[in-house]
Chain A
C-alpha cells in the first residue's frame, strides 16, 4: 500500500474526537457519509483540509478523548488515508488501524518539515515516509495491523480460527 499526496496541516495539539466529530452526529446507525460532519464545529480546521489531500498532519496526542470510531470513519469518508502526528491516543490509533487509516508517528524534527502542501509518499510495506525534496524516514507500526492491512486479513476471522482455544479457556474458568 502506497499513498502519494500533498499534506494538509492542522497545527494544533490534543485534537480530541469531539472536535473531529461532535457528539450530535453520533445518532446514526450506520457508518456512511460521516465525512460531511468532519470538524463540523471547527470551521477554521475545515478550511485547512479540502483539496483532495489524503494525508492529514496534526499536533501531538491526536484523537484523545471519546472512543467513538465515528472519528476515523469521518476521516476516511472525507478521503484521508493517513494521519501524521508526534503521538496518538491509544483508542484512536486502534480504531484507525481497523479502518485502514494509517496513524503515522514521526519525531518532532520530521513533523516540523511537514508544512502545508508538502508532497509525501507513504509506503506501508517498507514503513517509510518520504518527503518530496526532503528526507525519507521510517515509522513504527504494529506488525499485526500492518499484515492485516496489506493482506486484507480479517481480525474477527483470525480470532474465530482459535475457537477451540477459546472454548478450552471457557471450560477451564
Chain B
C-alpha cells in the first residue's frame, strides 16, 4: 500500500537510502538566472559538463524588466545576471527561453504550459515554489544552488524521504471563494512550519473539482506551510490539460504514459503520517494581515489580538490594530501576478470584476501575466483591454512585484493587495505592507480603493 509520493520516490531510486541519503534521479531540471550562476561556476571549476542537457530547461523571470522586453537602460547587475545565464546556457548546451522567446515566462508557469511537467516525474528548480508542479502528480520541490550544481553535474539529488501528510478538502466552494482562499485557510490552520519534513498530498472532493490552474495555486503554496512539496493525484483533467502540449508524449508514447500515470494515485489503504481535513463549504475569501502567510483571516473578520512579541511586531509593521476590520482598509497598490495567480484563469477572474469599472483613484494596479503565452491568450480574449480601460498597467511576463527585484516595488509604508505568495517584511519592497488574497479579492479591492469582499460584485464570479 503506497501513497503517490511513495510511488514516485520508489521509482526514482538510483541508490537506496542507508546511513547516507538516497540518490534520487531527477527527470526535469528547470533553471533561471538568479540561483544558477554560482552553480555553473562550480561546474566549470570541476571541469564537468551538464550530464543531461536534454532534461534541463532555462528561462529568465526573477530579475527581468516587465515594462518592456529590452535590457537596455535596465539595472546593470540584473542585466549582467541575465546575460550570464544566456552565456552559461550557450556554453553548456541548455535550451533557454530568453526574453525574445514566445515560451518565456515564470519558470513554474511555463513548465506545465509546455507539457514539461508530467505526472510521476521528479522535478527540481532552484526556487522554493517548484512545489507548483505537484499539481500534476509530479514530485517537485525547490533546491539550493549547491544542489543545482549537483543536479547539473549528476542528474541526481541526495535526498532523504519525507513524511506523508494528507490534506483533505471536502465540501463545495461558495461563489467568490477560490483555491487561493483554500490554501490560505490551510496555512492559517497548520502554521508556516506545520508541514516541515513532510510532503502534502491534496485530496478530497473540493480538490477534484478544481481545474489545473487552481490546483497549481494550491500546490504552489505548499512551501508556505513548511512542506517541501505538495501533490495532487493525476486524473482526467490532468491528462486533458497535457494532451497535445509541445513536450508531452505523442501517439503511442502518450498511450503508454497514460497507462503509467493511471497507476500513480495513492492506494486506498496507504498510510499517511499526518492528516488534516478542511470543509470548504463555509469558507470565505481569505486575506492576510501579518508578515507571514499563516496570519490570515476571513474577509469579514477582524485582526486578532497578538499572542506573542512577533505577532505584535508584525502588526506594528503592517500599521494595523487588533480588533480592526480589514474590509474597508485603504490600499495603495494591487498586484495581480506571480506563479501563484498569474495564469489565464486568474486573469479572467480578475477581469470579470474589473470589466466596465475603474481602478480607484490613487491606486496603482499592475497586471503581470505569468508567461508570454498567457499574455498572448489573454490579449486574444481582450482581457488586456479590460484592464487598460480600467486604468491598470498591463505588463510583460515575469515575477515582477512578487519579489521586487526588477524595480517593480511597493513604496515603503504603502499597502498592497497582492495575489502572490509571500507577505514577508520587505518582500514587495523595503517597508511594503502586503496583504495576500485571491485575484477576485485583489480586483475588487482595486475598484474600491479599499480591501473589498469580491462577493459584493455579484454572483457571476
Q: Which residues of A contact B (CB under 8 A)?
A: 11-14, 16, 18-19, 22-24, 26-31, 41-42, 59-61, 64-69, 87, 89-91, 94-95, 98-99, 142-144, 155-156, 158-160, 162, 165-166, 169-170, 173
A91 touches B228 (CB 8 A): yes
| Docked complex Cα distance between A156 and B192 (Å) | 31
Within the assembled complex, what's the spacing in Å between the Cα atoms of A11 and B156?
38
Tell me, yes or no, whether B3 is within 8 Å of chain A by CB.
Answer: no
Task: Indicate with 1 or 0, residue by residue over B125-156, a CB within 8 angstroms of chain A CB atoms.
Answer: 01110000000000000111111011001111
**Does A94 lie within 8 Å of B147, measured CB to CB?**
yes
Interface of B toward A, CB cutoff 8 Å: 14-15, 19-21, 23, 25, 34-35, 37-38, 41, 46, 62-63, 75, 77-78, 80-81, 84, 126-128, 142-147, 149-150, 153-156, 158, 160, 192-193, 196-197, 223, 226, 228, 292, 308-310, 313, 403-405, 422, 424-427, 430
Listed A/B pairs (13) with beta-carbon separation below 8 Å: A18-B427, A22-B430, A24-B405, A27-B78, A28-B77, A41-B430, A61-B196, A66-B422, A67-B127, A67-B128, A87-B196, A89-B193, A155-B158
Distance between Cα atoms of A28 and B405 in the complex (Å): 12
**B146 contacts which chain A residues (CB < 8 A)?**
69, 95, 98-99, 155
- 8 Å CB contact of B149 from A16, A156, A165: A156
Best-surrounded residue of B80, B156, B197, B308 (most CB of chain A within 10 A): B156
B35 touches A68 (CB 8 A): yes
Bound complex: CA of A83 vs CA of B275, how far in Å?
A: 31
Find chain A residues with CB under 8 A from B424 CB. Answer: 16, 18-19, 65
- Whether B75 and A27, one on each chain, are in contact in the complex, defined by CB atoms closer than 8 angstroms, is yes
4 new A-B contacts at CB < 8 Å, known A28-B37, A69-B144: A19-B425, A64-B226, A67-B144, A91-B144
Of B128, B142, B308, B427, the most chain A CB neighbours within 10 A belong to B128
CB contacts (< 8 Å) of B403 on chain A: these are 23
Query: Contact at A166–B155, with CB atoms within 8 Å?
Result: yes
Contacts of A142 in B (CB 8 A): 21, 160
Query: Cα distance A22–B313 when bound, in Å?
Result: 19
* Interface hub of B144, B313, B405 (most chain A Cβ within 10 A): B144
Interfacial chain B residues near A12, Cβ < 8 Å: 309-310, 313
Contacts of A29 in B (CB 8 A): 37-38, 41, 80-81, 84
Residue of A nearest to B152 (CB): A156
Bound-state Cα–Cα, A59 to B292, Å: 15
- A27-B128 in contact given A18-B422, A90-B196, A91-B144 (Cβ < 8 Å): no
Does A166 lie within 8 Å of B422, measured CB to CB?
no
Which one of A14, A41, A90, A162 lies within 8 Å of B426 (CB-CB)?
A41
Q: Which of A28, A66, A91, A166 sits near B156, CB closer than 8 Å?
A: A166
CA distance A143 to B19 in the complex (A): 7
Q: Is the CB of A155 within 8 A of B150?
A: yes
* Set of chain B residues within 8 Å of A160, measured between Cβ atoms: 153-154
Closest to A24 in B: B405
Cα distance A23–B14 in the bound complex, in angstroms: 35
Nearest 6 pairs of A and B residues by beta carbon: A29-B37, A95-B144, A69-B144, A27-B77, A67-B142, A61-B193
By a CB distance below 8 angstroms, the chain B residues around A144 are 19-21, 158
Q: Are A98 and B23 in contact (CB under 8 A)?
A: no
Cα-based distance from A16 to B430 in the complex (angstroms):
15
CB distance from A137 to the nearest CB of B (A): 21
Question: Are B405's CB and A27's CB within 8 A?
Answer: yes
Contact across chains for A24 and B404 when beta carbons are under 8 A apart? yes
Q: Is the CB of A13 within 8 A of B310?
A: yes
Inter-chain contacts of B41 with A (CB < 8 A)? 29-30
> Cα distance A164–B128 when bound, in Å?
31
- How far, in Å, is A18 (CB) from chain B's closest CB? 4
The answer to whether B14 touches A169 (Cβ under 8 A) is yes
In the assembled complex, the Cα of A143 lies from the Cα of B309 at a distance in Å of 36
Give min CB distance, B197 to chain A, whole Å.
7
Residues of B within 8 Å of A24, CB to CB, are: 404-405
Q: Which residues of A contact B144 (CB under 8 A)?
A: 67-69, 91, 94-95, 98
A61–B226 touching, CB < 8 Å: yes
Q: Which residues of B contact A65 (CB under 8 A)?
A: 128, 223, 422, 424
A165 touches B226 (CB 8 A): no
- B14 A165 Cβ-Cβ under 8 A: yes
For residue B145, which residues in chain A have a CB less than 8 angstroms away from its CB?
69, 95
